Amino acid sequence: MKRLATLDASWLAVDSEDTPMHVGTMQIFSVPEGAPETFLRDVVERMKAQREVAKPWCYKLSYPGNLGRLIAPKWKIDDDIDLDYHVRHSALPRPGSERELGVLISRLHSNRLDFSRPLWECHIIEGLENNRFALYTKMHHSLIDGISGVRLMQRVLSTDPNETNMLPPWAVRPDQLRASKDDDEASIAAAVSHALDALKLQADMAPRLWGAASRLINSVRHPEDELTAPFTGPVSLLNHRVTGQRRFATQHYQMERIRKLAKVAHGSLNDIVLYLCGTALRRFLTEQGELPETSLTAGIPVSIRPADDQNTGNQISFMIASLATDEADPLTRLQDIKNSTKKAKEHLQKLPKAALTQYTMMLMSPYILQLVTGMGGRMRPVFNVTISNVPGPSQALYYEGAKLEAMYPVSLIAHGGALNITCLSYDGSLNFGYTGCRDTLPSMQKLAVYTGEALDELESLLMPDAASNTEAPESRAPAKA
């Protein structure tokens, strides 16, 4: 039996009907050309025949004594896994477009995991139009974080389209995992983990930490006027308590389009992503008469090289930037966002390593506390929306000869933060996954559509000649739920 880390245990403690704490990955594959009619069924059968279950897929919770979930749960290895329960073959109703897929993923992501079994499900979904299928895998956040989940699913795949008899996700042993270029990524979970390392947080220290963090934050003297501080975002539609049902939507664009815009705008790729999200959010909230007077803020995990450190590479930190949703003019909005991220990054980059670590901890602590105590939505938000931009594989990947066409994280949301946007690059495209609370965001698919329209608009503003030639064939109708 393996003891759960304190933080992992807290994801269990905060899991509830309204805030199920699992994370997912959705992958879309093309059936190989010339494959037999039975291709997918054969794949499912081969997958299910592989009954050896590796870590962490074989872990289930064990509660020594009768003291309930909060008291020191442990992981134990389940050597009698009901694989027919965990591995599920599903189908989409016709026409099987991204829309029907989004609806199904939303439903599946809304269902809680069964806590008496290993905390994962793997759904193989047939009937996606243009001879494609999808794989949706969910796992509890106490076992894995969202980006590590994406990595886990990615490492099951091969760069070789001719490789066959591949292992199913649950049978790939950690030591067989294809090496990742960098395990330390600018994800929310990594930032949380760095923040906690800095503090050696124990669950019973939480009240003391809360006080310390509040004092620290109040005492911060920002040298730059334009630095966006925590707790300065408005209390928006996105920052109340959430309910248990989810929506999921997707968009993907050619990376080249984003890259060109970043170059012309003298900004970073991330600035363009923030601009697209901010612009879509501004329109979305305006239409509902819910646009706050002050700008929404985004919490963004970043990878930073400390000022005094030339050797050990980057460190994960966290920044808060303005989305300039209070600015009506698109180009001024872009400029505001660029200024905000520039100031935030400069601020981080000036910090020596020790201070950077402490600063990250200070900035993240209230967010972490809102998460693990479930207090989010009952206090002022630390920031309004989480936007992550994570680099993914640059080469095409395959499973049993089926090409991976796109890959999206399906995130968790928590009280006080009804929307999560995570972008993942893959093989020349940028994949946007929107995870939201069903009741808070009844027309979330519009937000996804507006992101695409913001991209078209920015192109026509910054590159008026080029934009007229762009047909944007890869900008699909969004998956909606």
389 in Cβ contact with 150 (< 8 Å): no
Report the C-alpha gap between 132 and 28 in whole angstroms.
7
Nearest to 316 by CA among 382, 371, 380, 388: 388
Give the residue with the Cβ less far from a second copy, 90 or 164: 90
- Pick the catalytic residue: 140, 141, 194, 252? 141
Question: C-beta of 267: minimal distance to a second copy in Å?
Answer: 38
CA dihedral over 261, 390, 229, 449, signed as positive or negative: positive
Maximum Cα–Cα distance across the chain: 70
Question: C-beta of 120: minimal distance to a second copy in Å?
Answer: 15
Contact with a second copy (CB under 8 A): which of 256, 287, 439, 474?
Answer: 439
Q: How many helices (H) and strands (E) does the chain have?
A: 13, 15
Gyration radius of the chain over CA positions:
22
Return the structure tokens found at 335.
């400029």
Report the C-alpha gap between 411 and 419 in whole angstroms.
9
**Interaction of residue 93 with a second copy, rule CB under 8 A:** yes
Report the C-alpha gap between 28 and 12 in whole angstroms.
29
292 in Cβ contact with 232 (< 8 Å): no
Give the residue with the Cβ less far from a second copy, 115 or 231: 115
Give the residue with the Cβ less far from a second copy, 123 or 282: 123
Contact with a second copy (CB under 8 A): which of 107, 260, 342, 476?
Answer: 107
What dihedral angle (degrees, nearest 10) is formed by the CA atoms of 189, 195, 197, 198?
170
**Interaction of residue 135 with a second copy, rule CB under 8 A:** no
Question: C-beta of 28: minimal distance to a second copy in Å?
Answer: 17
Q: Tell me, residue by residue from 238 to 267, as one string, x for binding to a second copy by CB under 8 A and - for no binding.
A: -----xxx----------------------
Interaction residues for a second copy, span 362-391 (CB under 8 A) = none
Residue 194 appears among annotated catalytic residues: no
Question: C-beta of 461: minimal distance to a second copy in Å?
Answer: 36
Report the C-alpha gap between 79 and 60 in whole angstroms.
10
Amino acid present at 176: Q
Give the residue with the Cβ less far from a second copy, 52 or 439: 439
Give the residue with the Cβ less far from a second copy, 282 or 438: 438
Give the residue with the Cβ less far from a second copy, 107 or 305: 107
Contact with a second copy (CB under 8 A): which of 73, 438, 444, 454?
Answer: 438
Q: Tell me, residue by residue from 44 to 63, as one string, x for binding to a second copy by CB under 8 A and - for no binding.
A: --------------------
CA dihedral over 225, 226, 227, 230, signed as positive or negative: positive
**Interaction of residue 36 with a second copy, rule CB under 8 A:** no
Report the C-alpha gap between 363 and 358 in whole angstroms.
9
**Interaction of residue 66 with a second copy, rule CB under 8 A:** no
**Interaction of residue 111 with a second copy, rule CB under 8 A:** yes
The residue with tokens 């933060």 is 417
Question: C-beta of 323: minimal distance to a second copy in Å?
Answer: 28
Contact with a second copy (CB under 8 A): which of 42, 114, 129, 226?
Answer: 114
Contact with a second copy (CB under 8 A): which of 55, 85, 160, 352?
Answer: 85
Report the C-alpha gap between 353 and 472 in whole angstroms.
43
E strand segments, 179-311 = 246-254, 297-304
Contact with a second copy (CB under 8 A): which of 94, 181, 221, 266?
Answer: 94
Instruction: Kindly state the number of chain residues that form the binding site for a second copy, as judged by CB under 8 A.
Output: 27
Half-sphere exposure of 163 (CA within 13 A, CB side): 11
Instruction: Report, as residue numbers or ranges, the catalytic residues.
Output: 141
Residue numbers of the site for a second copy (CB under 8 A)? 17, 41, 82, 85, 88-94, 100, 103-104, 107, 111, 114-116, 126-127, 243-245, 438-439, 442
